Structure 1
Amino acid sequence: MISPTGPRVRLSRSALVAGVGQAIEAGGADAVADLRRDAYGHGVLFVAETLAQVGIRAAVLDPESVEVAQGVGIAAAPDAPTLNPGAIFGFPEADSEAGDKPRPVMSLVGSVLSIKALRAGEGVSYNYTHIASQDTRIALVSGGFGQGVARSLGNHASVEIRGALYPVVGRVAMDVCVVDIGGADLARGDEVIYFGGEGPAGPALTTWEAASGLTAAELVCALGLRLPREVVA
């Protein structure tokens, strides 16, 4: 069961279908998909089912995924040329290769756990790497380095809440982050989007890459293999 407050990854089937179409345009109809590492953390079953629906019948697979993929009509093709996974899954590096900017298939979603006042001069999280320059309000949001949120994102990234962006302040903790929300009208239980979706946090993986030194593929793979996954249209 997926926790209503805990961090989770949300997978968009429509974004995956669009990404596969772009990848086929760029890579040719004879290429196959690369579904290793549990389809880059997106889930072999989910991705293979969608590929089968759009007419792709083969993929490069890890040995433990062959049976799952074959069950939905995807055969193993270890020596075939592969489609660009960046285009399929909407990684930032695929922007220049696709006619339309790809939309990430995966979003990272959390929730506001609590809200409190932060006074000028007070610090946030481990070692107080962020000191408030003025009175403000902060939100504790679910999702930390224990779930794959890169520790280096503190003081560099922002999250989306109710359609607006708010900066992550202080160091990322094991299970939570702290976000400066100022005077915004937010409440406990509000959804927090770290990246993905169609709002302002959609392209945030680019910031994650720059702050962490990891690629988008590495980041989403780490998250997708650790967190519950939910599929939306």
Structure 2
Amino acid sequence: MVEVARIVTDAGAEAVIVDSPDDVARLGADNIAARTDGRGSIDPHQLFGIPNSTALLDSVPVMRLEGRVLSTKPLHAGEAVSYGYTHRAALDCRVALVTGGYAQGILRALGNHADVQIGERVFPVVGRIAMDVCVVDLGDSDVDAGTPVVFFGGAGPLRGALAQWSEVTGLTALEMAVVIGSQGDREWSA
């Protein structure tokens, strides 16, 4: 409970709303403001990274969708990737095979229309989204297998990417977050 309360207050909540006076006292011992009644002081959609109607996030979301680089390989000009070859390389480049596909809630419509963040850089997803993987165009960069790949959320440039995903798919950001939450593996990190 303390870890969650600290994350919520770090995200901008004035106090955490809890069930009992004992919880208030327990959190107070850790210098975390808590109360048992009233309304929350932070929008839960913003807290989890669900963009508002203007597609902006006022805080760093606590939810993030992340995959990992499985492998990389060269792709020569004119060569294509993924099912149906919907993407052909205009120039020689390097591509990464990344965990995260439609079985994890990354909608197929996002193929050739979404970006990911690897390290500090943003790269496009190319080709169709497959069941458990997608392909990312690294340009002239290279990354190691196992490197984390952020689809949305976190503190980086793709923290509000669900807004762009919504434009591409026609689904709301909340609908996509629910699907991803029901399909993807969840892991706690603090």
TM-score over 0.5 for the alignment?
Answer: yes
Percent of pairs with identical residues: 43
Gaps of 5+ in 1: 1-11, 34-49, 60-79
* Alignment coverage as a number of residue pairs: 176
Q: Which letter does structure 1 place at the counterpart of 2:157? A: P
Q: How does 1:1-233 map to 2 (within 5 A)?
A: 16-18=8-10, 21=13, 55=34, 57=36, 84-93=43-52, 101-233=58-190
SS state at 1:181 partner:
strand
Question: By how many angstroms is 1:200 displaced?
Answer: 1.9
* Contact 1:87 1:94 (C-alpha < 8 Å) held by counterparts: no
What is the CA–CA distance in structure 2 between the aligned matches of 1:189 and 1:145, rounded to whole Å?
Answer: 20
Deviations 1:33-63 (A, max 9, x none): 9xxxxxxxxxxxxxxxx9xx7535479xxxx
Question: By how many angstroms is 1:201 displaced?
Answer: 2.0
Report the CA distance shift for 1:205/1:186 in structure 2 as closer, same or farther (over 3 A).
same
Report the CA distance shift for 1:19/1:213 in structure 2 as closer, same or farther (over 3 A).
farther
TM-score in terms of structure 1 length: 0.65
Deviations 1:59-105 (A, max 9, x none): 9xxxxxxxxxxxxxxxxxxxx9xx853234232116689xx812222
What is the CA–CA distance in structure 1 between the aligned matches of 2:37 and 2:180, rounded to whole Å?
Answer: 25
What is the CA–CA distance in structure 1 between the aligned matches of 2:110 and 2:10, rounded to whole Å?
Answer: 29
Question: By how many angstroms is 1:21 displaced?
Answer: 2.0
* Contact 2:97 2:134 (C-alpha < 8 Å) held by counterparts: yes
Report the CA distance shift for 1:228/1:96 in structure 2 as closer, same or farther (over 3 A).
closer
TM-score in terms of structure 2 length: 0.78
Question: By how many angstroms is 1:198 displaced?
Answer: 1.0
Deviations 1:137-189 (A, max 9, x none): 10000000011011111111110111100100011000000000022131111
What is the CA–CA distance in structure 2 between the aligned matches of 1:55 and 1:126, rounded to whole Å?
Answer: 52
Bigger shift: 13-22 or 112-121? 13-22
What is the CA–CA distance in structure 2 between the aligned matches of 1:14 and 1:144, rounded to whole Å?
Answer: 32
Name the structure with the higher helix share.
1
Deviations 1:171-223 (A, max 9, x none): 10000000000221311111111111112222211211111111121111111
Structure of greater relative contact order (alpha carbons < 8 Å, 6+ residues apart): 1
What is the CA–CA distance in structure 2 between the aligned matches of 1:143 and 1:157, rounded to whole Å?
Answer: 13
